[in-house]
Amino acid sequence: MNDSINTPEKAVKFIERYTNSNPYLMIPFECWNGLNKKDNDRSITYWNNAYKIALNWKKLDKKRVYSLEELKEACNKMTKQVKLRNNKLVLYLLCFVKIFPKLNIRIKDLNMIVSFS
C-alpha cells in the first residue's frame, strides 16, 4: 500500500488548518453554486471509500520499474495534452499566482526526488 498517498481528506484538513480558505471537496456529478459554504463530510466519505476500494484491488504479480527517461516522456506527453485541451493563458495565470505550485515527488523505486512545475 502507498503510505505516502495524499488523500482528499488530508487535503481538506490541511486547508482548514493551515490556510484562511474554505475547502470545497466535490464528488463526481455533484452540483454546487459556488457561493454557499459546503459541508465536505459526504464527499470525504465518498473519497475515503473510493481510495479503500482502489488500494485493496489485487496487485499484479509482476512489478515493472519505469526508468527516469520513461517517466519524463510520459510527463511531457501528459503536459502537452493538458496544454492542448485547456486555455494556455489561464494555465499560465494559475501558475503565476501559484495555484499550481511546484511539486517535489518521491520516486521510491528509483530512490530519488524529482520536481514538477
pLDDT in tens, 27-48: 999 888 888 888 899 999 999 9
Among residues 1, 3, 40, 43, which one has the least CA distance to residue 23? 40
Residue whose cell numbers read 466519505: 45
pTM higher than the cut 0.75: no
Burial call 89-103: b when 16+ CB within 10 Å, e when fewer: eeeeeeeeeeeeeee
Which one has a higher pLDDT value, 77 or 2?
A: 77
pLDDT band with cut points at 50, 70 and 90 for residue 18: very high
Return all residues near 22 (Cβ < 8 A) that are at least 6 apart.
15, 16, 37, 38
- The per-residue pLDDT for range 39-79, each reduced to its tens digit, is 899 999 999 999 888 888 776 556 678 889 999 999 999 88
Q: Return the pLDDT at 50.
A: 92
